Amino acid sequence: MNWTEIEDDLRKRLSPKRFKHTQNVVEVAHQLADRFGCDQQQVRLAALLHDCAKHLTDQQQLDYAKKHHLNIDPVCQNDPQLLHGPVAAVLASERYGIKDPAILKAIECHTTGSKNMTTLDKIIYLADYIEKDRCFPGVDAIRQMAESDLDRATIMALTNCICHVAETEALLHQNTIEARNDLIIKQKNILYKSN
C-alpha cells in the first residue's frame, strides 16, 4: 500500500480520536526527524502505523500475538494492550507491506520503549508522548527538552511514564525500566569520556 492507501485504511479502522492522534504523531515526528537527523520516510511511516492495532480488544491482542508467536510475558498477559505495539509491527508488515526492520522495530517498541533504542525508536516513542493533544503534568517540560536533546527528552518521558504507572498501580513493563536505565548509562558514559 502507498501512503494514501494506508491513511484511508486507518481512517476506517481507527476511532476518529485515535486517527487524529496518529496524524498529530506524524506531524511532531516529522519535526523531530528534521531536528535530530533521521530518515523522513522511515519516521513518517512508523508514526503513521504505530497505533494500527490499537482498535483491537484485549482478547484480540492476545489471540493475534499467539497466532504470530509473539512473546507474551506475564505483564502483557495481564495487560494485553501492552501488546498493541508488537501486534502493530506484524500488521504493518502483513497488511500494509512494510518490510523495513527499522520501521517495524520502532512500531514494536513505541509503547514500552526498549534497550538500545535507535534515533528512530526514540523519535516515535517521544512523538507519541508529546503530540499536541497530549495534556498531562510534565508534558510541557518534555516538549521543551525535545527542542534540543532527544536522549534527555526520552529519559524524561520514560521517567514520567514509570511514575504514572506506579501511581495508578498499573503493571510496569520491564522494557520501560531497561530502556531508561540503558539511556542513562549511555549518558553517564558520554559524560565520563568527555571529562
Query: Which runs of consecutive H residues, i.e. helices, occur in 95-167?
Result: 101-108, 119-130, 139-145, 150-167
119-130 helix and 16-36 helix, angle to the nearest 10 degrees: 130
Q: Say whether residue 51 binds Fe ion (CB under 5 A).
A: yes
* One residue of 62, 103, 127, 128 binding Fe ion per CB under 5 A: 128
Distance CA 70, CA 25 (A): 25
Using the contact rule CB under 5 A, the part of the chain among 1-9, 30-38, 121-129, 151-159 near Fe ion is 121-129
150-167 helix and 174-194 helix, angle to the nearest 10 degrees: 140
Give the count of residues interacting with Fe ion (CB under 5 A): 2
Nearer Cβ to Fe ion (164/186): 164
Q: Say whether residue 131 binds Fe ion (CB under 5 A).
A: no
Q: Say whether residue 121 binds Fe ion (CB under 5 A).
A: no
Q: Taking a C-beta distance cutoff of 8 angstroms, is the pair 152, 186 a contact?
A: no
Using the contact rule CB under 5 A, the part of the chain among 41-49, 51-59, 61-69, 186-194 near Fe ion is 51-59
Q: Minimal distance in Å, beta carbon 157 to Fe ion? A: 13
Q: Say whether residue 108 binds Fe ion (CB under 5 A).
A: no
